[in-house]
Amino acid sequence: MTIRSMRATLADGRTLSIGRRSSGAEPDNHTHSPALSDREPLDPEALVRLTAVARELYASRRRRHKFLPADLFGEPTWDILLDLYISTRENRRVPTTSACIGAHVPPTTALRWLRILEARGLVEREDDGRDGRRTFVRLSPSGLAAMDQTLAALGHSFLKLTSSLLPPRDGEDLLGQG
């Protein structure tokens, strides 16, 4: 299977190629540190904890709509990244249409943000291979590394907050370090 290339039109009328093939080409570097990809893989327990953080963040974004109007909140890129992170860690493929639904915005808005995430090297699209009408979307290796680090930092902050409110259990942080 190959990663599908797309083209986006910039505000000044120029076109920009979006997406990468599986050639291992580096994404543009204006959004995140290239050093994120060079880090050692996380242990399975740490991945479980980080996935739990992502699940809670995604679920909490839905829960707040019970108390506050949904139209006050709009951050589809974060919803897309969280959804793709959880799916990646659960070894599930995400059709582009499902990623759009998970963003909780109109499909055209979600597709625009997917193109932006793809242009920044955080997301890749993959042709189905069996159904030419369908594509899948996933975090790129650098997108996955960036989400690991983001969720670890957020989880560490949550852990510090809860430890200040509750007695610590076993003294470990989300990455299994003391």
Mean pLDDT of 17-27: 37
Mean pLDDT of 165-175: 61
Sheet harboring 94-95: ordered strands across? 94-95, 135-139, 123-127
Confidence of residue 132 (pLDDT cuts 50, 70, 90): confident
Cβ neighbour number for residue 97 with a 10 Å cutoff: 14
Of 61, 139, 68, nearest to 103 (Cα)?
61
Per the structure block, which two tokens stand in for 86?
A: 């959880």
Confidence of residue 117 (pLDDT cuts 50, 70, 90): very high
Torsion of CA 13, 17, 19, 23, to 10 degrees: -170
- The Cα 112–Cα 38 span in angstroms is 29
What pLDDT is attached to residue 39? 60
Stronger pLDDT, 65 or 28, i.e. the higher one: 65
Indicate the average pLDDT of the chain.
Answer: 77
Mean pLDDT of 159-167: 75
CA dihedral sign, ordered 86, 90, 96, 102: negative
What pLDDT is attached to residue 31? 41
Confidence of residue 175 (pLDDT cuts 50, 70, 90): low
Task: Please say if the pLDDT value at position 146 is more than 70.
Answer: yes
Ranges of each domain in the chain: 34-163
Tens-digit pLDDT profile for residues 46-102: 889 999 999 999 988 888 888 888 778 778 999 999 999 999 999 999 999 999 998
Q: Give the fold, CATH level 3, of 34-163.
A: Arc Repressor Mutant, subunit A (1.10.10)
Tens-digit pLDDT profile for residues 29-43: 444 444 444 566 778
Stronger pLDDT, 39 or 27, i.e. the higher one: 39
Task: Please say if the pLDDT value at position 169 is more than 80.
Answer: no
